[in-house]
């Protein structure tokens, strides 16, 4: 029997990052495999990284390193913002960003717009820790197309977190300039957006064009990095954009950080600052 990547047998999963390189994980069990209206959603148990979620054969998260991605996607914009009360998450159906967002004492309400209800259902079942915030009263879940949803909101949100998958299938539109214009307009004047972009090793072009779009739309846009072993190249480029000058370089709020710092495994105030230090070749395309 072959899996979504064409592997023979059920013992190994491989995501090819290029035609000649990839990540291979030993699998002990296929827990779920569902073709949703949007994508192939699979959950597998791995020996080294715990439970694994893939969409169309691409790694979205594993138990072992998901905290890095979700802490960096969330706490960088939330702590750089002066007082984040209304938050929007686009995508992120696993609930990992929500889990981090609800730790913030200033939060009044977070709305998550996820296109694929099957991802939410499978993650609630197989990733109970990641999906824990779905039962939180401050969380509103909308199953629908964020591109349509966003057009209805102007000046509504303090922080927007764009937690889509790679720019193939349902996430293609989440990398277009028109989408970022709608995110910009849905933010309040001091609003901030964080967004996952791609591999600093394999995706220089995507990183350069994404930041170019953002700079045409937002006042500031900066790339930052996080170490995520199961993503292509093991280091991932995220971005922070702000409507106002100085928004993306604001110092993270120490008082708010201390209210939940004991729960964190990767994010620290030093990591926040250091993540914006880019290798020379990436800095050339991203600044």
Q: Interface with ligand SPD includes 92 (CB under 6 A)?
A: yes
Using the rule CB under 6 A, give the single segment among 20-28, 43-51, 89-97, 203-211 that binds ligand SPD: 89-97
DSSP of the chain: -B-TT--BSSSEEEEEEETTEEEEEEEEEEEEEEE-SS-EEEEEEETTTEEEEEETTEEEEETTTHHHHHHHHHHHHHHHSSS--EEEEEE-TT-HHHHHHTT-TT--EEEEEES-HHHHHHHHHH-TTTTGGGG-TTEEEEES-HHHHHTT-SS-EEEEEEE---SSGGGGGGGSHHHHHHHHHHEEEEEEEEEEEE-TTT-HHHHHHHHHHHHHHSSEEEEEEEE-TTSTTSEEEEEEEESSTTGGGPPP-HHHHHTTGGG-SS--HHHHHHTT---HHHHHHH-
Q: Interface with ligand SPD includes 42 (CB under 6 A)?
A: no
Q: Interface with ligand SPD includes 239 (CB under 6 A)?
A: no
Q: Which is nearer to ligand SPD, 107 or 171 (CB)?
A: 171
Q: Interface with ligand SPD includes 114 (CB under 6 A)?
A: no
Which residue among the candidates 94, 116, 118, 163 is catalytic per the annotation?
A: 163
Q: Interface with ligand SPD includes 165 (CB under 6 A)?
A: yes
Binding residue for ligand SPD, selected from 77, 96, 191, 200, defined by CB under 6 A: 96
Binding residue for ligand SPD, selected from 3, 94, 114, 158, defined by CB under 6 A: 94
Residue 270 a catalytic site member: no
Binding residue for ligand SPD, selected from 56, 100, 116, 163, defined by CB under 6 A: 163
The CB-of-232 to ligand SPD minimum distance in angstroms stands at 6
Q: Interface with ligand SPD includes 58 (CB under 6 A)?
A: yes
The CB-of-106 to ligand SPD minimum distance in angstroms stands at 22
Residues forming the active site: 163
């Amino acid at each position: 029997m072959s899996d979504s990547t064409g592997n023979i047998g059920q013992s190994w999963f491989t995501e090819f990052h290029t035609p000649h390189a990839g990540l291979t994980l030993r699998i002990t069990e296929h827990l779920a495999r569902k073709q949703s209206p949007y994508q192939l959603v699979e959950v597998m148990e791995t020996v080294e990284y715990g439970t694994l979620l893939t969409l169309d054969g691409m790694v979205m998260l594993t138990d072992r390193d998901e905290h890095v991605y979700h802490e960096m996607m969330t706490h960088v914009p939330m702590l750089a913002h002066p007082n984040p009360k209304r938050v929007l998450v686009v995508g992120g159906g696993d609930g990992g960003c929500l889990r981090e967002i609800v730790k913030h004492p200033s939060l009044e309400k977070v709305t998550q717009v996820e296109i694929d209800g099957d991802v939410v259902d499978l993650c609630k079942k197989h990733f109970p820790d990641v999906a824990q915030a779905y039962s939180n009263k401050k969380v509103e879940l909308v199953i629908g197309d964020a591109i349509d949803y966003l057009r209805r909101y102007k000046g509504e949100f303090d922080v927007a977190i764009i937690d889509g998958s790679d720019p193939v299938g349902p996430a293609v539109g989440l990398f277009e300039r028109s989408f970022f214009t709608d995110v910009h307009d849905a933010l309040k004047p001091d609003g901030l957006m964080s967004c996952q972009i791609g591999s600093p090793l394999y995706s220089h072009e995507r990183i350069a064009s994404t930041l170019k779009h953002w700079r045409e739309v937002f006042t500031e846009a900066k790339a930052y990095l996080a170490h995520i072993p199961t993503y292509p190249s093991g280091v991932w480029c995220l971005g922070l954009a702000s409507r106002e000058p100085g928004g993306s370089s604001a110092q993270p709020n120490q008082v708010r950080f201390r209210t939940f710092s004991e729960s964190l495994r990767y994010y620290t105030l030093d990591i926040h600052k250091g993540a914006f230090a880019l290798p020379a070749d990436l800095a050339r395309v991203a600044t």
